[in-house]
Amino acid sequence: MTDLRNLLKISDDRLAEINALLTDPGNELVNELLATIESFGGPQEINRKAQEAAQLENLLARLQEAKSPYVADLNWLMEKRDNGAFISLPDYYERVLGDKAKGADIDHKNAVTLEISALQYFPWLIAEARRSIEQGELMPGRYIRVRNMAEQEIDNGDLMAVAAAMQIVGASYVETLDTKGTDGSNVHLGGPETITGYFGGVGQPNEYPIKWVREYLKFYTTYGVQQVLNINPGTVLVGYLLHKLGVNNEFKISVFMGNDNPFSILWTLTTARLFAREDGTTSLIGFNLSNSANNDTIRKSAVIRKALGLEDIVRFEHHITETWKSIVRQPYNRRDELVEIAKEVPNIAAKHEGGEIDVEQELDHPSDILDYFMPKSDVEAQGLMPALERNYIEKHRSTNLTADALTRAGIGVVYAAKLHKTD
């Protein structure tokens, strides 16, 4: 066994070959990436522009200049935050635990990030905040967005409003770039009549990784959007290289990459470590495992993550609920499994993409993953906006039911940090 195990060691010669390839002045792939970075002014200038664009006062000023109706909502959100309108953590514990709240031993080391998907429209966040105040609920600590970026830009400043709101509430968020194979470039993706349908592999065909970089750098430098969804091994590698070259980009790997076993996770995390900066950081900050991944896979993957020094850097994002239609077999709810694994494995996000089973099956328009990709004009033309907002609020409710279950089990949660006071 020892002799066999030693055969797995990567020799210095092989590593030297990889380094020689990456640093070869004739490497066209690297040259194209470097040229793209330089066209935006180089890493330092890119980061400077992004930092300036992301400042809250600058986002608010731009929204005011554009006469966005969302300025009033953002001012309301800041007012409610500053006035302590959202439930405090002690009051939340008392609501959930009753008389046991004062003596409760909550494990914050393994605190689970409350995550909701997808926040398609800024007004939904305000509706969610109003409900949280009224019902004494927690606002999530992480938001996923899967909406056409170009559409967001021209929709009353929706993109900037969400970016500003995330700073106001103290949550992280991730956007989804438009550059992907769903635009017709991937010939497999033509609906159910093609080999893989819509979601057998979204893809970034041919020259698309560089197009992806250009789009990312545009939104990063223009609006300060730092975190984006990543759906393809090619753009994952490009994301690593960008960061190693000095751009402070971040990304999360999508469920659609199909990482559903410890070996696939070993490969992904190994490459993240290989291309990490000298300080050990990497651009991979969220890793959405496949819906099929069970607790045993998460346990084994956690061992890999820790061994590679990535436990505090890479968050495992785990689906708890899922949209009712078009993606997984229903009924689907992994809350009990989450409570079990969260006692052992740190740095997990509980992702809620659907409402509770008993609610979803009774809705006139249950949640549907395909709704994410519908243009706003079509949503409004079909009169679906109220139904889609209801879907989102049901996801918020599911998020809080998960928070309640974790709290009763003595496990902490990561919520919108600036909204819920701790004393």
* pLDDT beyond 70 at 16: yes
Residue 423: what pLDDT? 87
* pLDDT beyond 70 at 193: no
Mean pLDDT of the residues in the chain: 95
* pLDDT beyond 80 at 191: no
User: Mean pLDDT throughout 198-214?
Assistant: 83
* DSSP-H helix ranges across 83-157: 89-97, 122-135, 149-153
User: Mean pLDDT throughout 353-369?
Assistant: 97
Q: DSSP label at 9?
A: P
State phi, psi for 183 to the nearest 5 degrees: -85, 5
Residue 192: what pLDDT? 57
Residue 194: what pLDDT? 58
* Orientation angle between helical segments 233-244 and 208-223, nearest 10 degrees: 50
With CA atoms as reference, report the closest residue to 254 among 227, 283, 226, 286.
286
Q: Are strands 107-117 and 348-352 parallel, antiparallel or unpaired?
A: parallel
Beta carbons within 10 angstroms of residue 103's beta carbon: 7
Question: Domain residue spans in the chain?
Answer: 43-414
* pLDDT beyond 90 at 182: no
State phi, psi for 140 to the nearest 5 degrees: -60, 155
* pLDDT beyond 70 at 339: yes
Contact 319, 255 (CB under 8 A): yes
Beta carbons within 10 angstroms of residue 119's beta carbon: 23
User: Mean pLDDT throughout 174-199?
Assistant: 74
* pLDDT beyond 80 at 279: yes
| pLDDT above 70 as % of the chain | 97
User: Mean pLDDT throughout 231-260?
Assistant: 95
Confidence of residue 241 (pLDDT cuts 50, 70, 90): very high
Contact 157, 68 (CB under 8 A): yes
Confidence of residue 187 (pLDDT cuts 50, 70, 90): confident
Half-sphere exposure of 246 (CA within 13 A, CB side): 13
- Which amino acid is located at 275 in the chain? F
Span 35-84, pLDDT tens digits? 999 999 999 999 999 999 999 999 999 999 999 999 999 999 999 999 99
Span 374-419, pLDDT tens digits? 999 999 999 999 999 999 999 999 999 999 999 999 999 999 999 9
* pLDDT beyond 70 at 200: no
- Which amino acid is located at 125 in the chain? L
Span 98-154, pLDDT tens digits? 999 998 999 999 999 999 999 999 999 999 999 999 999 999 999 999 999 999 999
- The residue among 64 and 194 whose pLDDT is bigger is 64
Q: Could you tell me which residues come within 8 angstroms of residue 1 by beta carbon, excluding any fewer than 6 positions away?
A: none
Cα separation values, 176 from 107, 316, 319, Å? 33, 18, 18
- Measure the CA–CA gap between 76 and 78, rounded to whole angstroms: 5
Cis peptide before 164 (omega within 30 of 0): no
Which structure tokens are listed for 397?
């409710």
Class of domain 43-414: alpha beta
* pLDDT beyond 70 at 197: no
Q: Report the SS3 class of residue 320.
A: strand
Residue 23: what pLDDT? 98
Contact 335, 402 (CB under 8 A): yes
Confidence of residue 294 (pLDDT cuts 50, 70, 90): very high
* pLDDT beyond 70 at 252: yes
Residue 201: what pLDDT? 61
Confidence of residue 327 (pLDDT cuts 50, 70, 90): confident
